[in-house]
Chain A
Amino acid sequence: AQRVTQPEKLLSVFKGAPVELKCNYSYSGSPELFWYVQYSRQRLQLLLRHISRESIKGFTADLNKGETSFHLKKPFAQEEDSAMYYCALKGKLGGGADGLTFGKGTHLIIQP
């Protein structure tokens, strides 16, 4: 069965410091990977997806199939980056259904 692991429940960094949110996955096929973000009192929303290879709000994520990772990075953290971040994988769930599998999330806190 596919699985998404975000090893850090909480990550605290200072403003201006680099940020790396880790995401590892297990999946037997070709995965589609996403990062979703939830700011305080807002809805869950898509931040970026690996197929578009774009930078959103200064964040980038590279799919590393060899290490089965999709880490989210930003060179200089800003206070408005404080949020919950979820890594998600689209693929076959147990039973053959397609669907999104989410990691448990990482709470990112940017300290001033």
Chain B
Amino acid sequence: KAGVTQTPRYLIKTRGQQVTLSCSPISGHRSVSWYQQTPGQGLQFLFEYFSETQRNKGNFPGRFSGRQFSNSRSEMNVSTLELGDSALYLCASSLIGEGYEQYFGPGTRLTVT
């Protein structure tokens, strides 16, 4: 099976712009979660989607949003980018009922200048 893929892998944006990141889960996985990883805060949960519905959301401002499509692919959007949004954004998919084992993608490295 192909693993979780994320596009783009690297991105440079300017403060105030918005960005959209994409994640394709493992075939058959309907749950997709997003995480932000920074040196200071480590890995932080952003949100989880299941069957096109947001099931859970972490403690992030409303500038961070996401969606999931009928084929389980997911996108996350960050509007009005701030310097502090520079991070590695990880996507993970899981098969519900598998003890919450999450399969991670390689991440998208976002740099905000």
Show the binding face of A for B, using Cβ within 8 Å: 32, 34, 43-46, 49, 51-52, 86, 90, 93-95, 97-105
User: A97–B42 contact, CB under 8 A?
Assistant: no
| Cβ of A45 to closest chain B Cβ, rounded Å | 7
Task: Tell me whether B66 is interfacial, beta carbon within 8 Å.
Answer: no
Q: Contacts A43-B106, A104-B42; is A99 near B99 (CB within 8 Å)? A: no
Instruction: Note all chain B residues with C-beta closer than 8 A to A49.
Output: 99-101
User: A102–B43 contact, CB under 8 A?
Assistant: yes
| Cβ of A59 to closest chain B Cβ, rounded Å | 16
Q: Contacts A100-B45, A104-B42, A105-B42; is A44 near B59 (CB within 8 Å)? A: no
Instruction: Note all chain A residues with C-beta closer than 8 A to B57.
Output: 95, 97
4 nearest A-B pairs in the assembled complex, by CB-CB distance: A97-B56, A99-B45, A102-B43, A44-B104
Task: Tell me whether B8 is interfacial, beta carbon within 8 Å.
Answer: no
Could you give 14 example pairs across A and B, Cβ below 8 Å?
A: A32-B99, A32-B100, A43-B3, A43-B104, A43-B105, A44-B104, A45-B103, A52-B99, A86-B43, A90-B100, A95-B59, A99-B48, A100-B35, A100-B45
Question: In the complex, A32→B101 CA distance in Å?
Answer: 11
**A-contact bits for B21-64, CB 8 A (1 contact / 0 none):** 00000000000010100000011110010000001111100000
User: B33–A93 contact, CB under 8 A?
Assistant: no
User: B59–A94 contact, CB under 8 A?
Assistant: yes
Task: Tell me whether B86 is interfacial, beta carbon within 8 Å.
Answer: no
User: B100–A45 contact, CB under 8 A?
Assistant: no
10 additional contacts (CB under 8 A) given A45-B103, A93-B56, A100-B33: A34-B100, A43-B4, A44-B92, A46-B102, A94-B59, A97-B56, A97-B58, A99-B58, A102-B43, A104-B42
